[in-house]
Amino acid sequence: MSKIAELFRQSPFEPLRLHMDKVMECVSHVKPMFERARDQNYESLKELVRLVFKQEHQADIIKDDIRQTIPKSFFLPVYRGDLLGYLAMQDDMADSVEDIGVLLTIKHLAMPAKLVDQVFEYVEKILWTADKACDVSKELTVLVEKGFNGEQVDRILGMVAVVERAEWEADRKQYEVSQALFALEDELKPADLLLWFRIFAVLGELANHAEKAADRVRRMLAK
């Protein structure tokens, strides 16, 4: 029996938690990537992005194993399609980190000095959102162990609301830093301006995917 199949026998959410752990390894490199871009440490940035590629691929392997193994005959407390949808949302988080790494290494891109503080405030809000989504994933396993009791369900729904609030705040940060970026359009090369704008957008997608994953949990619990 494969490791994933054995995990499904223990808990239908344990394999998804294993996948989320790998996703969060990718997410943990977001801030260091931006730090290297700020410091114009391009070689170190490329090395870090290569690590992200490797970890994202490992997440894909776990995802594919889950899709192939997810039991059709085992009793599941939730709809199988919802589990697969939730898995896809988690995987999109890792994909976003990989996309950020690609964009940061397309060229030797200098972070505008006037934006540094705002950029890292935005990064921290994105990471906070992803971290709260990870907490929801961990709590799902506890929920199954306790038999989907009302108190535990209410607790997770409250955690989902925290993720949604964090994603909304991240959207505001994205808007603010994008405004500040375009205020510098006379000082930046057009290509650099547009590339930073795209980087901010993809960073925002990381929070969006985290929020969608949390919302999928709400859908599972509502059925």
Indicate the domain borders of the chain.
3-222
Q: Which of 30-39, 67-76, 148-157, 209-218 has the lowest mean pLDDT?
A: 67-76
Look-up: residue for tokens 């170190």?
A: 44
Across 103-124, average pLDDT? 97
Across 144-173, average pLDDT? 85
**What is the residue-averaged pLDDT of the chain?**
89
Q: What is the pLDDT of residue 3?
A: 62
Q: What is the pLDDT of residue 140?
A: 77
Q: How many CB atoms lie within 10 A of CB 4?
A: 19
State the virtual CA torsion across 23, 21, 210, 47 in degrees, nearest 10: -30
Note the pLDDT tens digit of each residue in 49-75.
999 999 999 999 999 988 887 755 455
| Residue 112 phi, psi dihedral angles, 5° rounding | -60, 125
| 98 token code pair | 């990989």
Q: What is the pLDDT of residue 1?
A: 46
Q: What is the pLDDT of residue 73?
A: 43
CATH architecture group of domain 3-222: Up-down Bundle (1.20)
Across 127-151, average pLDDT? 80
58 class by beta-carbon count within 10 Å (0-12 exposed, 13-18 middle, 19+ buried):
middle
